[in-house]
Structure formats: C-alpha cells, structure tokens
Chain A
Amino acid sequence: MSMEEHTITILVKNEPGVLSRVAGVFSGRGYNIKTLCVAPTANPEISRITLTSNADADFTEKIKKQLDKLVDIVDVLDYTGERFLKREMMLLGLKITPGRHAEALQALNTLGCRIVAMRPDYYIIETSGSRSENDAVFQYFQTFDVEMMNRTGCIAIPLNPKNDPE
C-alpha cells in the first residue's frame, strides 16, 4: 500500500493530557507522527493541533473516526492536499568565518531569510516557508558552519475563504 503524507488539524479543549490522548490514537495503531504543532486559538479554551503523518490511503477516515471519539476533541479536519497553504519555520545558528560575511548576507537576502541576532562571528537566522523551501535554505547554508538548527512542524490554512465553491 502506498504511503503518503497526510496533514490533519484538530481543535481540542485545552485540558491536561489531551495531547497524550491524541498521540495515543496514532501510536496505538502503529502510526508515526512526523511533525506536530500545538497552540491556542483565539478562544483560549480551545487549542489547535496540526500534525502530519505518513500513512496509507484510508488513514484519514480511520484516524478521524478514532479522534472523533475522544471526549476533549472539538473538531478534526483533513488539511491534506493542494487546497491548503502549509508553512514551517526554521532557526539556524551560523558560524561566520572572517571573509565570508558578504557572501552570507547576500545569500540571506536572496533566500528571504532574516537575521534575528548577530555577533561578528555568529548569526542566528530565521526563515519560514514550505518544507521544501526550508530544506533548500538549510542545504545552502551547509556550505557554512551550521552550529544549530531547529525547525517547527507544519501549520496550515485553507487557501480559499470558507464559502467558496470547491
């Protein structure tokens, strides 16, 4: 069976243990969560979990039904596919050797990255984009000395307003 990446967003009551319950639905059925983001929504009692997982085709139906059964779950939405905008964020700690500043600054500019902290020999840069864009940025800066890297999982939003015909 072919494995593909699914993106699911889950609105949950902001209760202790809710993340563990959601994770349990995946782990209890042998699925691995690839990326995960959790943050409160505009309503502080409700949080949004956005996660991606590699799984077979009927995964979403199976998992959605299981998630719907959890008491603290408000809604489960499938954000897989082209109709959704997906973004990740990445922070890089970059060691800059003398003589390479110009090259680094030009690359940062071209790649649309931002310097959020800097010393003469060390930059912290921030970038956001699709996963492949971030992959490309990371790969480019491998030619420098990347001391640290931390990236988020994916967050997503529908491209079209709610009432648009699909």
Chain B
Amino acid sequence: MKLTGSQILFKALHAEGVDTIFGYPGGSVIDLYDEMYRQEGIQHYLVRHEQGAVHAADGYARATGKTGVCLVTSGPGATNTVTGIANAYADSIPVVILTGQVPTHMIGKDAFQEVDITGITRPCTKHNFLVRTVEDLGRNIREAFHIARSGRPGPVLVDIPKDILQATLEEEKISMAVNLPAEPSRESIDGACAEAISLIKASRRPVIFVGGGILRGKAVSELRTFVDAVNAPVTASLMGLGAFPGTDPRWLGMLGMHGTYYANMAVSHSDLLIAVGVRFDDRVTSKVAEFAPNARIIHIDIDPVSINKIVKAHVSIISDCREALQRLNTMAGGRVLLSEDQTRDWLDQITKWKRAVPLGYCRSDKIKPQCVIEKLYELTKGQAIITTEVGQNQMWAAQFYHFDYPDTFISSGGLGTMGFGLPAAIGAQVAFPDRTVVDIAGDGSIQMNIQELATAVHYNLPVKVVILNNSFLGMVRQWQEMFYGKRYSQTHMKQTLDFVKLAEAFGAVGLRATKPEEVEDVLRKGLETPGVVMMDFQVEPEEQVYPMVSPGAALTDMKLGNLRQEAD
C-alpha cells in the first residue's frame, strides 16, 4: 500500500505520541489539513495568529514537560512563528514547528507565499530541516522530536514542500529510524561531584541558586533532598520559580534585577554559590565583576556552553540536573553535609535581611497591583497555573504569587516576549482542562495577542485573564522615571479600550475593578465564573517594582522605595 507524505507525517506524529497540535491552515499545508480531516487521535486547535500557535505549543510544553507541536503554512504563516520560536529557544522549551513550503520545483523562484524559513530561523532554532524527499520525511520528523527534547531542549523547525506532502511512497519503504551524528561523549561527573562535596563541607555561607534546568530536567525532588543535605537557603532565576517551594522557610525568593533584597544580599555575601540549571543571565548577575564576589562557584548545567560563559566556575558539572543531584545526594549518603551549627550564623544573618527589607507595598486609595496578585494567590490557594505577559505584571507575579509547585509559573524569561501569556495560558489549559489557569497581564502586552481570546472561547478553554491596567507601558515608564528624568516618551497608553466590552465582543465575560475594595469580589467572581473571563483592574498608574538593581550595578546596589523596615 502507498501512503502520501501527509499520511507519513501523521504516522510519525502518532509514533511520537502527539495528540495536540496548535495550528493555522494555508495553501501549502492544505493537503495535510485534508488528511487531518480523516485522522483520529489528534486534536487540532485553530489559533487566530501563527505567533499564538507557537506560544500555545510552548505553554503546553512547559505545563506538561512534553514536546509542543505547531503547524503553519508557508510564507507569512512561517514568518509569524519566528518570535515564538526565538522565545522557546531563549527559554530552552521543546517545540516542533511544522511549516509548509512551496513545491520543491518552485523553491528559489520567489513563488507566492515562499520564504526561506530554514534560513530565517537558523539562529533561533536548535536545528531545522528542509525536507528534500518523501523518503526523508518520516525520519526528519522523528529526528526533530529527538533533537527538541534531548540535552538542553529547544525548538526544531521542519519545513515541508507541498509536493512532498502529496507524493506517495510504498509503506515498506517508509523509514522512521533516527540517523544523527552521535553527541560528543562526556567525561564522568564523579570527580567534579566529589570536589563539589568538599567545597560544600568547607563552606559556612552557602546559597543554592536554581533555574529552569531543574524544571526541564525534572529534578524537583532531587533538589529537595539536596537542599536538606546542604542546609542552605535557596534562590532562583525567573525561570526557576516553582523548582523549590515558595513557602519553604529556606526560600529566598527570586534573584537579580527585581529579586528580593535578601536573595541579592545572600548571594553577594555567600562563600559558596551552588548554581544548578542556570546560565547566569544578565538580569540575574547584573554587574558580573561584582557578582557573588566572595563565593566559590559550583555550576551544574547540561549545556557545556553555559559553563564559564559569563561566570567562571570553580567546579563545573556538565550534566543533566537530575543526574548530577542524584550523584551528589548519593555521595552525601543521607547525611547532612553542613550541620545546623555550621550554618547558624549565616541563616541568622539572612533572617535579619529578611526582616529588614521584606517584599511589600504601600496601600492607598487606588488599587495596588501587588495586592491583586496577593489576593489571587489567596483565592486560588496557590494552586493555579500562572502565565504572565512581560514587564511589571510579570515581576509582580514572580514576587507575590508564591510558587510551591513545578511547572505552575509559565513566563517568557530570556526573550521577554509581550503577548506570550494569553496563548501560553491556552496551551496550559489544553493540557490541564480542569485546573485554574490565569494569565497575569498588563494593559499593553495583553493587546499584543488579544486575538487568541477568540481561540479560548472557541474551544471553551476557561482561561482567566487578570489585567493590571495602569494605562502605561509600565516597566519602560519605570525606567523613564528612575533613569530618564521622568520623560515619559511614548509609554503613556491612553486606554480608551473598554476591556469589559472587548471580552464580551469575543464571547467571554468581562469584569472591572476600579477601587481597592472591589478587588476581592471581582477576582472571586472571575474565578468562579465558568468559561473565559477577562478582569480589568485599574491600578495605581505609577507604581514601581521594588527592589530594583540599576542596570549594570552590583546586586547590593538596590533601589528599595519604601521597603526598608529596619536597619540591617
């Protein structure tokens, strides 16, 4: 029996266990969509913009740990995915992007809806393929999935010419065997782990700093055991939130530009920094020369490129985080590496820093955005999956929603993509239809992919959108206030848009709060209302995110606003 290219593609997707695709049809993939009409076992979600398809696949991947899949047509369909691909690349998220391409004989002839998408996405994919023959198709799809999820995960694009989808091949000639060069062999980590153990034992002021590698590497419980053995406080990058419980007394909160005072102080005064699954982003280190100046550094990461790229490691363990932590835990043998006595002074000092400058905000007669997040945390009992847009909304979500569980904070970390949160929430909601999924948004960023509200309503995905509406592009405005003499150049977004009516126009429910006393009721009602709900919280327009490390300054050099409670 002969199969068409389209049938082979679905065969490969079935073999990978794919049951969910986010996509948008078009001329080059019409054969594929025709085949989809007959296929069972795959649910396709028709987004309203191809960027939304990648973000949704990305959100789905982050929430489930599986590889997200999206499918778009050639030309503009393909170019619309580029921001989403770069976003998944920056945050190491496994996504496979299937793009249609004009027929092979038309390639290079400026055909209608032709674009060199493998050329365009080369720098922002882990790898990409232009499928050359129908014989290659099944194998290329399997290879794409293999590459996307192996090692440090990332997006892989497969560009498929239309004639290859239409071509046929005898079933027995279909090969799906992955044929890729072997990855470079790695040294044993035993020696480095032993060195790490002796550095830990010699330390008196240790800090454990975790990132997205713990979540991607599914090393949450191994981390817990390790923290027990080291008796050290734990901080995280934005990408690491949820890797360690936000309500644990050893939790320091986030590190970096908008990290907590005590996390920044602890890292800056530590004598040992154990960095696990992180890449020392500039939003974390700020001034590299003064980052953790007194600390020995143990760096565990799966990507050799991350080691010594920004911060020089004294001990480097190139490994999957789970494997490395398992090895370290085995070496510790169930005993503590540092006793409570040995770290007591250090932990006391940290408690003093925590008391001196806790996270907080001043109440006023206007709604405080931080208060909305606190109430949201209370009402959802910390059980919601939170996605965010980018900017102040994202930082307040990171600071005031205490993430106890892995894969519940879904945010655009590396690329900082406004418009990520809503489609990502759709992806997470598809994965977990019965959980509460909330997109915390700003009034600017929500408008960047607002069309996806239609997707949510279409598939009855009951996503809740919380807009912290300050009529500003708030984070840029904050920089303008602090560093550019309050010249608010092009950041005031006069909000003539009625978000309640907008929600209703999409077939969703819209709610609004304008006074502090309305916050709880609106949130409660919004969370209880079935279906898609968009809540417009009209907040203090010029609220700042504190603490803030000035760009390029040392982490100890923080602007604190009114946060300081007592001398430290």
Residue of B127, B132, B181, B303 most packed against chain A (CB within 10 A): B181
A24 surroundings in chain B (CB, below 8 A): 122-123
Q: Is A65 within 8 A of B305, CB to CB?
A: yes
Task: Give B530-558 as 1s and 0s: 1 = Cβ < 8 Å from A's Cβ atoms.
Answer: 00000000000000000000000000000
Quick one: which of A16, A17, A65, A72 contacts B304, CB cutoff 8 A? A65
A17 and B130: CB pair below 8 A?
yes
When the two chains form their complex, are residues A28 and B127 in contact, meaning their CB atoms are under 8 A apart?
no
Interface readout for A54-92 with B: 1 if CB under 8 Å, 0 if not? 000000011001101111111000000000000000000
Which of chain A's residues have a CB closer than 8 A to the CB of B122? 17, 20-21, 24
Chain A CB within 8 A of B436 CB: no
- Among residues of B, the one whose C-beta sits closest to the C-beta of A73 is B181
Q: Residue B249 at the A interface, CB < 8 A?
A: no
List residues of chain A with CB within 8 A of the CB of B184.
68
Task: Give min CB distance, B136 to chain A, whole Å.
Answer: 11
User: In the assembly, what is the distance between CA of A16 and CA of B118, in Å?
Assistant: 11
Q: Which A residue's beta carbon lies closest to that of B147? A: A71
Q: How far is the CB of B10 from chain A (nearest CB, A)?
A: 24
Give the distance in Å from the alpha carbon of A133 to the alpha carbon of B512 in the complex: 79
CA distance A56 to B118 in the complex (A): 31
Interface string of B289-313 (1 = CB under 8 A from A): 0000000000000011100110000
Query: B130 contacts which chain A residues (CB < 8 A)?
Result: 16-17
B180 within 8 Å of A (CB atoms): yes
Among A20, A61, A65, A74, the residue within 8 A (CB) of B119 is A20
**A66–B123 CB distance below 8 A:** no
- Quick one: given A17-B118, A65-B304, A65-B305, are A71 and B127 in contact (CB under 8 Å)? yes
Distance of A28 Cα from B124 Cα, bound (Å): 11
Which A residues are in CB contact (< 8 Å) with B304? 65, 68
The CA-CA distance from A90 to B308 in the complex, in Å, is: 40
B-side contacts of A69, CB under 8 Å? 303, 305
Contacts of A61 in B (CB 8 A): 308
CA of A69 to CA of B154 in the docked complex: distance in angstroms?
A: 12
Once the chains are docked, how many angstroms separate the CA of A68 from the CA of B304? 9
A13: interface (CB < 8 Å): yes
Count residues of chain B with CB under 8 A from any CB of chain A.
17
Contact A28/B123 with A17-B118, A65-B305, A68-B304 known, Cβ cut-off 8 Å: yes
Between A16, A21, A71, A74, the greatest number of chain B beta carbons within 10 A of the residue's beta carbon is seen for: A71
Q: B305 to A74, Cβ gap below 8 A?
A: no
Q: Which of A20, A24, A69, A72 gathers most chain B CB within 10 Å?
A: A69
Chain B residues 122 to 153 lying within 8 A of chain A, measured CB to CB, are 122-123, 126-127, 130, 132, 147
Flag A16-57 by CB within 8 Å of B: 1 or 0 each.
110011001000100000000000000000000000000000
Residue of B nearest to A71 (CB): B127
Q: Which residues of A contact B147 (CB under 8 A)?
A: 71
For A20, the closest partner residue in chain B by CB is: B122
Neighbouring B residues of A13 by C-beta, 8 Å: 181
**Chain B residue nearest in CB terms to A74:** B181
Cross-chain contact A71 with B180 (CB below 8 angstroms) = yes
Most buried by B among A24, A65, A68, A72: A65
Q: Are B181 and A66 in contact (CB under 8 A)?
A: no
A13 to B122, CA, bound (A): 16
- Distance in angstroms from A46 CB to nearest chain B CB is 9
| CA distance in complex: A69, B308 (Å) | 16
CB distance from B362 to the nearest CB of A (A): 45
Q: Nearest chain B CB to A16's CB is how many angstroms away? A: 7
Please give me the residue from chain B that is nearest to A70 by CB atom: B127
Per the 8 Å Cβ criterion, residues 172-197 of B in contact with A are 180-181, 184
Chain A nearest CB, measured from B50 CB (Å) = 22
Q: What is the minimal beta-carbon distance from B8 to any residue of chain A, in angstroms? A: 20
**Nearest-Cβ distance from residue B482 to partner chain A, whole angstroms:** 31
Could you say which of A16, A17, A24 has the most chain B C-beta atoms within 10 Å of its C-beta? A17
- B309: A residues at CB distance < 8 A: 62
A71 x B181 contact (CB < 8 A): yes
* Chain B residues with CB under 8 A of A17: 118-119, 122, 130
The complex places the Cα of A20 from the Cα of B122 at a distance, in Å, of 8
Residues of B within 8 A of A71 (CB): 126-127, 147, 180-181
Residue in B118, B126, B305 whose CB lies within 8 Å of A66: B305
List 28 interface pairs A-B (beta carbons < 8 Å), by A numbering.
A16-B130, A16-B132, A17-B118, A17-B119, A17-B122, A17-B130, A20-B119, A20-B122, A21-B122, A24-B123, A28-B123, A61-B308, A62-B305, A62-B309, A65-B304, A65-B305, A68-B184, A69-B303, A69-B305, A71-B126, A71-B127, A71-B147, A71-B180, A71-B181, A72-B127, A72-B181, A73-B181, A74-B181
Tell me the A residues contacting B by CB distance below 8 Å.
13, 16-17, 20-21, 24, 28, 61-62, 65-66, 68-74
Q: Which B residues are closer than 8 A to A by beta carbons? A: 118-119, 122-123, 126-127, 130, 132, 147, 180-181, 184, 303-305, 308-309
Inter-chain pairs besides A17-B122, A62-B305, A62-B309, 5 sampled, C-beta below 8 Å = A13-B181, A65-B305, A69-B303, A71-B180, A73-B181
Counting from the closest, the 5 A-B pairs by CB-CB distance are A71-B127, A65-B305, A65-B304, A74-B181, A68-B184
